[in-house]
C-alpha cells in the first residue's frame, strides 16, 4: 500500500488521479489532499477518500473548511493552511508518491520539496521544471527521487524511450523527439480574426478537458512551448532535437525518432487517466478506466508544422530556452500574468504574446544558479508584465 499526496486535488488532474486511486484502493491510500479555494469539491473528496491531512492554501477558506468538517463524519482530518503547508504534506514520512498538479509557479516549491525528500514525483506541473530545470533535476539526482512525467506528451515520450530509461538520462540512440500538439481551437481561424477571440472561445479545447489557464495556453500554443522546454530538461536534449508537430486528432501523444530510422509513437484516447495510471503503476501497468482506442473510429491522422506567425508564443519559448538562465522563468511569469489578464478581459487574446515579448526584452542574460535568483526573477517579471498591461490599457 503506497501513500499518495495530491497537490491540486480539485483541478482536472487531481480529479482524474482520485478516479484512478479509487479503482486501485488496495494499492494506494490518500494521505493528503490540497486545494487553493475550492473547498466544496475538496469536502466531497474528503468524504470519499478520508485523507489524514488537508491543505487549503487560502487561510480564510481554510477556517471555513475546518468549521465544516468539525460537524461531519471526517472531523479527525487535520486541516492546514498557507503555501508552506504544501511543502509539509509533500514531505510526510508516510507519503511515497506526490502528484504535483498545482498550475503555475505556485507548484514549484512543494514539488521541489518532494524531490529533495526523495519521493516519487508524478509531475503534472511543467512550470516547476521550466523555472528551475537544473536545480530540480539535481535535487532528484541527489535524493534518489523518481521523477515520472504526467503531461500526456512527456509521458508518451517516456513510454517510447529504451528499456530501463530514467528521466534526466541522455538516450544516445534517440535522435529527436516529435512533440505533438492539437493546434487548439484556433488552428484554422484566420489570423486577423484572433484579435476578437473571447475567453470562453479560448478555453473550449476541441479534444481535452482542462483547466482555464492551460486551455488558453493550448490556444496560444504557449503550452507546447513550455512542454518543449520541459522535454529538453526531462530527456536531456537540445531544443533543435525537439520538433513540434500539429496533430489535430490527439491520438498520437508524441513520438521518439531513433538513429536507425525507427519512430516509436504512443497512442491512446485523449484522457489524462492514461498517463496518470501508467505513472502510478510504473514499471507495471494497471486499468485506467479509459475506453480502448478504436482506430477505425479515428479513421485518419493528420500532421503539419506549426505556423510561428499564428503562434508567436511558441517562437518565444524557443527563444527563451536558447537564451537560457532566467529567461524561461521570465517567459513563464509573463505568460501567467498575461493569461490571467486575458481571462479577466483586461487585454485581448493577441496581446498575450506582446506582453510576454515586451517583458523578455526588459531582462538581460543572467544565470539561474539558485532558487533565490529564480524566485526574484519570477516576481520581477510579474511586475514588469503588469506595467506593460497598464500601458496597453492607457
pLDDT by residue (tens digit) across 27-65? 999 999 999 989 999 999 999 999 999 999 999 999 999
Please report where in the chains the cell 477571440 appears, as a residue.
197
In this prediction, residue 209 carries a pLDDT of 62
- Tell me the C-alpha to C-alpha distance, in Å, between residue 353 and each of 300, 310, 349: 33, 11, 9
Q: How much is the pLDDT for 393?
A: 87
Q: What does DSSP assign to residue 51?
A: -
Question: Helix (H) and strand (E) counts for the chain?
Answer: 16, 11
Q: Using CA atoms, how far apart are residues 317 and 276, in angstroms rounded to an integer? A: 26
What confidence score (pLDDT) does residue 207 get? 63
pLDDT value of position 205: 65
pLDDT at 204: 82
- 133-147: pLDDT as tens digits: 999 999 999 999 999
Cell (9 digits) for 85: 503547508
Give the number of other Cβ atoms within 10 Å of residue 322's Cβ.
Answer: 11
Contact 157, 241 (CB under 8 A): no
- pLDDT of amino acid 257: 98
Mean pLDDT of 176-199: 93
| Angstrom distance (rounded) from CA 131 to CA 325 | 9
pLDDT per residue over 204-262, tens digit each? 866 656 678 888 999 999 999 999 999 999 999 999 999 999 999 999 999 999 999 99
Alpha-helix runs per DSSP H in 144-272:
152-160, 199-202, 212-220, 222-234
- Complete domains list, the chain, with CATH: 2-149 (3.40.50.720), 324-394 (1.10.1740.10)
- Reading the block at residue 242, the C-alpha cell is 525537439
What is the enclosing helix (H) or strand (E) of 375?
A: helix 371-392
- H or E stretch covering 14: helix 12-23
> What's 86-146 look like in SS3?
HHHHHCCCCCCEEEECCCCHHHHHHHHHHHHCCCEEEECCHHHHHHHHHHHHHHHHHHCCE
Q: What is the pLDDT of residues 282-337, one digit of tens each?
A: 999 999 999 999 999 999 999 999 999 899 999 999 999 999 999 999 999 999 99
Contact 332/383 with Cβ under 8 angstroms? no
Mean pLDDT over 267-277 rounds to 96
Lowest-pLDDT choice from 88-102, 157-171, 209-223, 346-360: 209-223
Q: Please say if the pLDDT value at position 105 is more than 90.
A: no
- Euclidean distance between CA atoms 277 and 74, whole angstroms: 27
Strand 120-123 with 97-100, pairing: parallel
* 305 class by beta-carbon count within 10 Å (0-12 exposed, 13-18 middle, 19+ buried): exposed
Mean per-residue pLDDT over the chain, rounded? 94
174-210 residues labelled b (16+ CB within 10 A) or e (exposed): bbbbbbbbbbbbbbeeeeeebeebebeebbebebbeb
Q: How many CB atoms lie within 10 A of CB 72?
A: 11
Residue 96 has pLDDT above 90, yes or no: yes
Q: How far apart are CA 330 and CA 374, in angstroms?
A: 9
Using DSSP, state whether 338 is helix, strand or coil. Answer: helix
Beta-bridged to residue 99, according to DSSP, are 6, 122
Query: Which residue from 159, 151, 95 is spatially nearest to 122, judged by alpha carbons?
Result: 151
Most confident option among 138-142, 164-168, 364-368 = 138-142
Amino acid at each position: 500500500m503506497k501513500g499518495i499526496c495530491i497537490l491540486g486535488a480539485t483541478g482536472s488532474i487531481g480529479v482524474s488521479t482520485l478516479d484512478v486511486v479509487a479503482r486501485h484502493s488496495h494499492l494506494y491510500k490518500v494521505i493528503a489532499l490540497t486545494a487553493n479555494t475550492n473547498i466544496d469539491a475538496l469536502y466531497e473528496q474528503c468524504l470519499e477518500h478520508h485523507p489524514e491531512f488537508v491543505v487549503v492554501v487560502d487561510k480564510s477558506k481554510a477556517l471555513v473548511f475546518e468549521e465544516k468538517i468539525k460537524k461531519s463524519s471526517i472531523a479527525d482530518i487535520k486541516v492546514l493552511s498557507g503555501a508552506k503547508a504544501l511543502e509539509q504534506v509533500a514531505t510526510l514520512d508516510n507519503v511515497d508518491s506526490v502528484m504535483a498538479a498545482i498550475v503555475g509557479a505556485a507548484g514549484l516549491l512543494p514539488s521541489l520539496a518532494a524531490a529533495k525528500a526523495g519521493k516519487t514525483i508524478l509531475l503534472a506541473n511543467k512550470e516547476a521544471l521550466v523555472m528551475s530545470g537544473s536545480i530540480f533535476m539535481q535535487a532528484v539526482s541527489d535524493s534518489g527521487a523518481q521523477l515520472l512525467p504526467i503531461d500526456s506528451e512527456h509521458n508518451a515520450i517516456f513510454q517510447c524511450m529504451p528499456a530501463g530509461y530514467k528521466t534526466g538520462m541522455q538516450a544516445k540512440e534517440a535522435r529527436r523527439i516529435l512533440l505533438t500538439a492539437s493546434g487548439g481551437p484556433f488552428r484554422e481561424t484566420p489570423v486577423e480574426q484572433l484579435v476578437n477571440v473571447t475567453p470562453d472561445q479560448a478555453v473550449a479545447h476541441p479534444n481535452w478537458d482542462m483547466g482555464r489557464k492551460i486551455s488558453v495556453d493550448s490556444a496560444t500554443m504557449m503550452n507546447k512551448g513550455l512542454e518543449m522546454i520541459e522535454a529538453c530538461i526531462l530527456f536531456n536534449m537540445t531544443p533543435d532535437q525537439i520538433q513540434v508537430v500539429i496533430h489535430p486528432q490527439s491520438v498520437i501523444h508524441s513520438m521518439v525518432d531513433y538513429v536507425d530510422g525507427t519512430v516509436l509513437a504512443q497512442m491512446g484516447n485523449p484522457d489524462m487517466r492514461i498517463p496518470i495510471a501508467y505513472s502510478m503503476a510504473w514499471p507495471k501497468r494497471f486499468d485506467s478506466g479509459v475506453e480502448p482506442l478504436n482506430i477505425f473510429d479515428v479513421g485518419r491522422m493528420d500532421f503539419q508544422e506549426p505556423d510561428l506567425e499564428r503562434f508567436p508564443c511558441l517562437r518565444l519559448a524557443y527563444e527563451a530556452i536558447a537564451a537560457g538562465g532566467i529567461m524561461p522563468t521570465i517567459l513563464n511569469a509573463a505568460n501567467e500574468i498575461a493569461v490571467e489578464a486575458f481571462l479577466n478581459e483586461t487585454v485581448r487574446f493577441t496581446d498575450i504574446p506582446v506582453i510576454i515579448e515586451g517583458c523578455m526584452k526588459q531582462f538581460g542574460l543572467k544565470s539561474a544558479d539558485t532558487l533565490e535568483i529564480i524566485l526574484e526573477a519570477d516576481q520581477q517579471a510579474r511586475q514588469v508584465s503588469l506595467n506593460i498591461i497598464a500601458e496597453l490599457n492607457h
